[in-house]
Structure formats: C-alpha cells, structure tokens
Structure 1
Amino acid sequence: MQYPLGEVTRGHHYAISVRDMDAMIAWYQEKLGAVVTGAWDPEELDAHVRIVTVNGFSFELVSMKESSPSSTQWGDPPGMAINNGPFHMAFTVDDCAASVAELKLRDVKFAWDVADYDELKMRCAHFWDLEGNILELVEVLD
C-alpha cells in the first residue's frame, strides 16, 4: 500500500459544535441546499448529533448542553489562523463568482468576496454560517 490511508482518500465530514441545532439545520438547508442524512441523540453524552449533507459532503452538527461559543467565530480569515487548529472548511466549486452570487441572493454574509490567488492557483471567497463559522469556496485555476 503506497498511501497509509488507502488509494482513495477524501473528506467525509466536518464537525461543528452548535448552539441552536434547529436554526443551524434550517440555515444549511436554506442556504446550501443540505439534507439531513443522519441523527443520533446519545443520552450518556447529553448531546444531539445531526448529519447534513451537501453534494456528497457532510457536516456533523453537534449540540451539547454545556457548549459555549468559540473565540474565533465571526473572525477575519487570516486573523483566525493565529489560533492553532482548524479554522475553516473549503469547498471546491466550478465557478466561484457564480456560487457567491447565488449565496448572496440567499442572504449569506461574506467575510471576503471573490479574489484570485495566482500563487496558489485558486479563486476564493469566504463566508460565515449562521453561528459565525468560516466556510470557503475554491475554484481551481489552471
């Protein structure tokens, strides 16, 4: 085996701790066209877990009784990188500008509008979900 994770490795889901499960599910459905594909309510953890899926990629939304907001929510993308660990999730899209235009019609709030990063061969835009988590759109440039 050449790769320790096997020959086919791709992202499966991105987990987000949420305050308001119902509102977050509604936001992902309305803004991104997500569908709920899984639910789990482990009593021993006093938690609620919902899987919402967009075009084959899933978000694991987790609501726990004692959760609290992250200091990085509603942050500026580069400013969020000062804290170690994950700070945004990126989607590959066919046309970044068209996706941004559609999301703006759905009243999605953007941290950074469309910009080209020639050194990285990417066109990107960053937006926030309902609770201030950063998501990114990436169009790969040739």
Structure 2
Amino acid sequence: MGLQAKNPYDDGELIGDVESGDPLDDDFDDDVEPIELRDVHHVAIAVADLDEALADYRDAFGVTVDHRETIAEEDVEVALLSVGGSRLQLMAPADDDSWLVEFLDGQASGLNHVGFSVDDCAAAMAALESRGYEMVDDEPKPGPNGTLTAYVHPPDQPGTLLQLVQG
C-alpha cells in the first residue's frame, strides 16, 4: 500500500501517491548509489549562552550533560544531552567572532542542523556532491567527542543544515 498525502487546507483532495520504497521524484538517478544513514545522530539547537541553556534544560527536563567541549576550528562550544534514545546538541558561540553569532542574530535560540550517522564521512560527501548537494565543508572536520563531521546544504531546503557524522 502506498503513502498518500492530502492537502490539510482542502477537504481531502489527494495531492500525491508515493509507493513505499519508491524514490520521491522522477529524476532519481539509479546509477548513483545512495548513502546509507545509520541513524539520526543528534538534533542541534544554537543558543546564545550554553550555561544558561543547560540550566534551563536541566531544570525543566532533568537531563544531564553527556559530553561538553569547545571545537576551536568551528569556534563553537557544544554539549550533548541524552534524551531517551536520542541526542540533543546545544551549541553556542565560543566568542564574538563565531559564525553562530550571525546565525543567532538577536534570537535566543534556533534549530541549526540535524546530524546523521554515516560510516564514512568523505565517501558520503562525495556521493551527495554527485547528486547535486552543496557541501559547506571541503573535507570532514573534527567534531565533538572524536567524531568527523561535514555540513551539507540540501537542495531546496534553506534554513536547516544537515551534518554527516562519522564515529
């Protein structure tokens, strides 16, 4: 049985029918092997003040920090929190020159990216580039807790970055 999408603003008008397991568009290139995502590694929220955000999450939800570090190359400070079987990453500018300062631009916090676990970050980057995805990074960079990471701009999806996470 296929998945059906209905327009929520119309009384049940059928706007598409996609069979489970089928590619989502007709331009899918069968000659290019898709990358295999192991799981959602984390969801990252950018915050202006990491200590304040951690206190808020601790007080409201009782979560604790699994790992915290400053990633000098990215000029950010990150904290990973376990929430059930998932991970939440809070990230804050390490100083006023951090790229996150511009991302936050006066807001207290915001969804920054979704990280996906992959076996080989460089190979996943190459596969996505061959499909037309724009990479933010030229090569994998050191990430939190000994991982290798790379950011991806998905086509037609402005606003939310994807991150490949190896390790």
Please give the range of the TM-score, normalised by the shorter of the 2 chains: 0.3 to 0.5
Return the TM-score normalized by structure 2: 0.39
The higher radius of gyration belongs to: 2
